Chains A and B, each alone.
Chain A
Amino acid sequence: GDSVTQMEGPVTLSEEAFLTINCTYTATGYPSLFWYVQYPGEGLQLLLKATKADDKGSNKGFEATYRKETTSFHLEKGSVQVSDSAVYFCALSARGNSGNTPLVFGKGTRLSVIA
C-alpha cells in the first residue's frame, strides 16, 4: 500500500540555521503530497502541498519540491525561528475511483529551534 517515510527526529537547530526534513514516498498511483505542522497542544495545519511532478509548494518561508524521479518531497527552510518549533508530518493522497484517497502520514519529525 501507499506509505510515507520521513527522517526521524528530534532535530535541534539554532535560530537562523538551515532546515531540511527528508521525505520519500511509495504510491501505486500519482499522489498529491503535503506537509502538515503540529504546534504543541494543537491539531495539524496544512503547511504546503504539491499536486504534480516538479511543482514547488511554499508557505511561511518553507518550501518543498515534488520529485517524481526520486519519489521525494523534502521540506526546507533557509532560516528557522524559535516559533518554527513543532512536529512536521509529510503526507500523501493518491487518486482513487471516488476521488482522492484519505491522507497517509509519515511518523512525524519533531523540530526544536533554540535561540
Chain B
Amino acid sequence: DADVTQTPRNRITKTGKRIMLECSQTKGHDRMYWYRQDPGLGLRLIYYSFDVKDINKGEISDGYSVSRQAQAKFSLSLESAIPNQTALYFCATSGPTADRWGVDGYTFGSGTRLTVV
C-alpha cells in the first residue's frame, strides 16, 4: 500500500455539487497538507494541519473546507463545486525532525484529478 493514499483518483462532478476528496497516510506523520496543481501555476496550498486539533488556511482556501478526522486522515471538501476548481489535487504529509528547524521531504499522494462541468 502507498504511504499516502488519495481517493478517488479521478472524479467528474457537476457545478454546484458537494464533493469530498479523501486522504489517508500510514507514515505516522502529524502534519498534513492539501495542494492544488494547475498548469503553469505550480502547486498552491489550500489548507494544512499540524496535528489533529490544528487547521490552518493556505493561500487559496476560499471555496474549500477540510476535516482532520484522525492523525492519519485529512479530507478536503468543495461545498459547491465550480468549473475553475477543475485541477489536480495533492495531499502530502511531513514528519518531525531531530532539529526543530530541520525539514524532511514531504510525502505526496498520487493525486486526484477533479473536473467540474
Chain A contacts to B: CB under 8 angstroms: 32, 34, 36, 41-46, 49, 51, 89, 93, 95, 98-100, 102-108
Contacts and interface: CB of A to CB of B under 8 A. Distances in A.
Contacts of A100: 101-103
Interface of B: 4, 33, 35, 40-45, 48, 50, 58, 90, 92, 100-103, 105-106, 108-111
Given A41-B110, A107-B42, 9 more contacts: A43-B109, A43-B111, A44-B108, A49-B103, A89-B42, A99-B101, A102-B45, A102-B58, A106-B42
Contacts of A108: 42
Q: Which 9 A-B pairs have the closest CB atoms?
A: A46-B105, A43-B108, A107-B42, A105-B43, A105-B42, A44-B108, A32-B103, A100-B103, A43-B110
30 contacts: A34-B103, A36-B105, A42-B110, A43-B90, A43-B92, A44-B43, A44-B92, A44-B106, A44-B108, A45-B105, A45-B108, A46-B105, A46-B106, A51-B102, A51-B103, A89-B42, A95-B101, A99-B101, A100-B101, A100-B103, A102-B33, A102-B45, A102-B48, A103-B43, A103-B106, A105-B42, A106-B42, A107-B40, A107-B42, A108-B42
A104 B42 CA distance: 10
B50 A98 contact: yes
B110 to A, nearest CB: 5
Dominant SS among interface residues on chain A: strand
Contacts of B50: 98-99
Contacts of B45: 102-104
